[in-house]
Amino acid sequence: MSDDTLSGWEVVVGLEVHCELRTETKLFCGCRNVFGDEPNTNVCPVCLGLPGSLPVLNKQAVEYAIRIGRALHCRVQPSMFHRKNYFYPDMPKDFQISQYDVPVNADGWLELPSGKRVGIVRAHMEEDTGKTTHVGGGGRIHGAAHSLVDYNRAGVPLVEIVSDPDMRSADEARDYVDELRAILVATGASDGKMEEGSLRVDCNVSIRPQGSTALGTRCEIKNMNSLRSLGRAIVYEASRQVEVLSSGGSVVQETRHWDEADGRTHAMRSKEEAFDYRYFPEPDLVSLAPSQEWVRAVEDALPVLPAERRRRVAEAAGVQAGSEPVATVVRLGLDALVMATVAAKADAALALRRLANEVAGQLAESGVHDIDPDAFVRLVRMEHDGELTSAQARTVLKDFVADGGDPKAIARQLGFEAMGSQELAGAVETVISANPKEWERFSCGDDKLVGFFVGKVKAATGGKADLRAATEMLRRRRGA
Amino acid sequence: MPEQLTAEPRPARRPAASPQVDPAAPGSYDGPVAQPISKDDVAHVARLARLALSDDELEQYTSQLAGVLRHAADIEALDIDNVEATAHPFPLVNVLREDVPTPSLDRDEVLAQAPEVDQERFRIPRILGEAP
Ligand SMILES: [Zn+2]
């Protein structure tokens, strides 16, 4: 977002994220929950809304919802289900079973890699809708001749996570979704695939004068199907609102549709009447009141979550938890390698640097071999101990990450083997004769000069010298 | 320990949900009182529910719903501060099923019920507006 466009204004973003749960079956019936099955093969009287059918809540879906709630530091509370009434062909019952005033999870927070906390208002359970495909009119709803409906997705369990309007930029909103996705995947509750629609993001965007604490009128943006579109949509929408306000107009609270092709948001067709969902308690379901024991058991079984992993890596490598390299290695799941380095008492800070820069870059470009932690630690040691120069170490690392193997063998193949001791001794002698004054001082006990000589040896050998061996040789030579 | 429900109405308590209800009138179903619901309200709700009501029907339902709302106002006038809220008439919570698949319906049988079918999907007329 260019500062010019927004100068004097602050953008305020809140997000609503729907995630599909990875259950075997739907929320209220035993139909399979599978993405990509043949249309209308996973349907039954319950999810088709046939008269007389009755919903029964899926226990595993509740457990996933509790996992999400506790991972987001929410209070898990007794809750109930409501009917949200509306007429639209994606919901054959003409209502969606959702949670209204008492959601299963409330009042939590999520910690961004930067360390900032974003408030979570609620994370409630509801059922997904069927999938409509618009035929004609280029797939857009306007101008479509007719639509086709597949009810396989109708009734698939969802958790909707509503944040506070705590984000202040498109980048922060993307960080939030990225972090939330990582948490969802870590808990096993969802696969977090935006491209398959198992993670769907709507955002509320408003702007206000820099320094103001009041919230401006917001617009809800829908239809972003990647993190990139989310960022673009927020940037566009914020500058659109700046333009409206700067020219003396006022922002109208409305839902706007993101158009990926033209890079704009468009007001959706104006409704004849504001939505009035006439929520009322779902009479066919009883309350959900997870016991403390259940909640505690679910919580105890949660894996270490990204924020804690970042804290551990940062502590191990002696850097700030909010630092970029830490966020990168945790996001890419490379933190176990840092921890392996710590466990082996090798240079964790060096490991972190190599992983966050070279390995992360390589990951972005191409696939990688599973990285063997022991071999990785050996390579870190080789660089730390001066067996390899940092340039050599990076070259070895690249091959090692791409194809696996033993770093020592790779170094040998690349001709990076530390030179033989004869050759090294020759180099040491040359350096000594070329610097007699420094040698004199070193010989008289000025030990700081060992670094000076090692540096000279390194330079003289084009970085091929085993610097630890060179150090030992220099000390022995002094004693002789 | 369940608290005793006291039937004595607290005079200061106004019905919260229907502010149009005349608070002086709870319990009196006959005689001229302020209407707790207007014909326009009923027409609005009917439209939301996709019910086509004649003018006579609107009149009839307005008066019937007014009776229902006055009854609700009576209940709201009770002091229930010490009564625990219930979400359901049955004393049941956590009715859950295991996450085990059961057979779905045969697709041909399902689609045979559809007014129109196209590409194994329900074919529906043009939709006006986006999903809410
Ligand atoms: Zn079903």
Structure tokens at B102: 């059961």
Check residue A97 and give left, alpha or beta (phi > 0: left; psi -120 to 50: alpha). beta
Centroid of chain to Cα A88: 34
Strands (E), A307-428: none
Q: What is the pLDDT of residue A322?
A: 86
Please state, in angstroms and rounded to a whole number, the distance separating the CA atoms of residues A124 and A106. Answer: 8
* Residues whose beta carbons lie less than 5 angstroms from ion ligand 1: A 29, 31, 44, 46-47
Please state, in angstroms and rounded to a whole number, the distance separating the CA atoms of residues A171 and A167. Answer: 9
Q: What is the CATH number of domain A421-479?
A: 1.10.10
The stretches of A385-448 forming alpha helices (DSSP H) are 390-403, 407-413, 421-434, 436-443
Is the model's pLDDT at A307 over the cut of 90? yes
Is the model's pLDDT at A2 over the cut of 60? no
B 47-106 near A (Cβ less than 8 A): 47-50, 87-88, 90, 92-105
Do the Cβ atoms of B87 and A135 come within 8 Å?
no
| Domain boundaries of chain A, sorted by first residue | 3-300, 306-413, 421-479
Most confident of A23-32, A374-383, B20-29, B108-117: A23-32
Give the CATH class of B30-76. Answer: mainly alpha
Is the model's pLDDT at A75 over the cut of 70? yes
Q: What is the pLDDT of residue A239?
A: 94
Is the model's pLDDT at A144 over the cut of 90? no
- Render pLDDT for A34-73 as a digit per residue (tens, 0 to 9): 999 999 999 999 999 999 999 999 999 999 999 999 999 9
Give the best residue of B45, B111, B118, B127 to mutate against chain A (max A CB count within 10 A): B127
Q: What is the pLDDT of residue A124?
A: 98
Contacts of B2 (CB under 8 A, 6+ apart): B84
Is the model's pLDDT at B65 over the cut of 60? yes
The residue among B128 and A266 whose pLDDT is bigger is: A266
Mean pLDDT of A233-239: 96
Residue among A62, A146, A222 minimizing CB distance to B124: A146
In DSSP terms, which residues pair with A76 in a beta bridge? A105
Is the model's pLDDT at B28 over the cut of 50? no
Is the model's pLDDT at A391 over the cut of 90? no
Please state, in angstroms and rounded to a whole number, the distance separating the CA atoms of residues B4 and B80. Answer: 9
Instruction: List Cα–Cα distances, A194 to A197, A201, A203, A328, A347, in angstroms.
Output: 5, 9, 15, 20, 37
Return the residue matching tokens 């990450």. A401
Centroid of chain to Cα A209: 30
How many whole angstroms from A144 Cα to the centroid of ligand 1?
A: 28
Structure tokens at A353: 């640097």
In DSSP terms, which residues pair with A134 in a beta bridge? A147
Is the model's pLDDT at A436 over the cut of 60? yes
Q: What is the pLDDT of residue A420?
A: 67
- Render pLDDT for B79-97 as a digit per residue (tens, 0 to 9): 988 888 887 778 889 999 9
Average pLDDT over chain A, rounded to an integer: 90
How many whole angstroms from A45 Cα to the centroid of ligand 1?
A: 6
Please state, in angstroms and rounded to a whole number, the distance separating the CA atoms of residues A135 and A184. Answer: 34
Q: What is the pLDDT of residue B35?
A: 67
Is the model's pLDDT at A1 over the cut of 70? no
Q: Which among A236, A276, A277 is positioned nearest to A256, based on CA atoms?
A: A236
Residue among A38, A135, A288 minimizing CB distance to B93: A288
Is the model's pLDDT at B10 over the cut of 50? no
Q: What is the pLDDT of residue A285?
A: 95
Chain A residues whose beta carbon lies within 8 Å of the beta carbon of residue B120: 38-40, 150
- Among A102-116, A315-329, A358-372, B42-56, the range scoring the smallest mean pLDDT is A358-372
Is the model's pLDDT at A477 over the cut of 60? yes
Q: Does B119 reach chain A within 8 Å, measured CB to CB?
A: yes
Q: How many CB pairs under 8 A join A and B?
A: 149
Do the Cβ atoms of B107 and A62 come within 8 Å?
no
Mean pLDDT of A330-354: 93
How many whole angstroms from B99 Cα to the centroid of ligand 1?
A: 13
Mean pLDDT of B5-24: 38
Return the residue matching tokens 């630890």. A468
Q: Does B1 reach chain A within 8 Å, measured CB to CB?
A: no
Distance from CA of B115 to the nearest CA of A (A): 12
Please state, in angstroms and rounded to a whole number, the distance separating the CA atoms of residues A152 and A39. Answer: 6
The residue among A54 and B48 whose pLDDT is bigger is: A54
Mean pLDDT of A103-126: 97
Chain B residues whose beta carbon lies within 8 Å of the beta carbon of residue A90: 131
| Domain boundaries of chain B, sorted by first residue | 30-76
Residue among B99, B102, B107 minimizing CB distance to A23: B99
Q: Residue B106: closest CA among chain A residues belongs to which residue?
A: A41
Q: What is the pLDDT of residue A27?
A: 98
Do the Cβ atoms of B127 and A286 come within 8 Å?
no
Contacts of A80 (CB under 8 A, 6+ apart): A99, A102, A281, A282, A285, A287, A288, B87, B88
Give the best residue of B51, B99, B105 to mutate against chain A (max A CB count within 10 A): B99
Is the model's pLDDT at B25 over the cut of 50? no
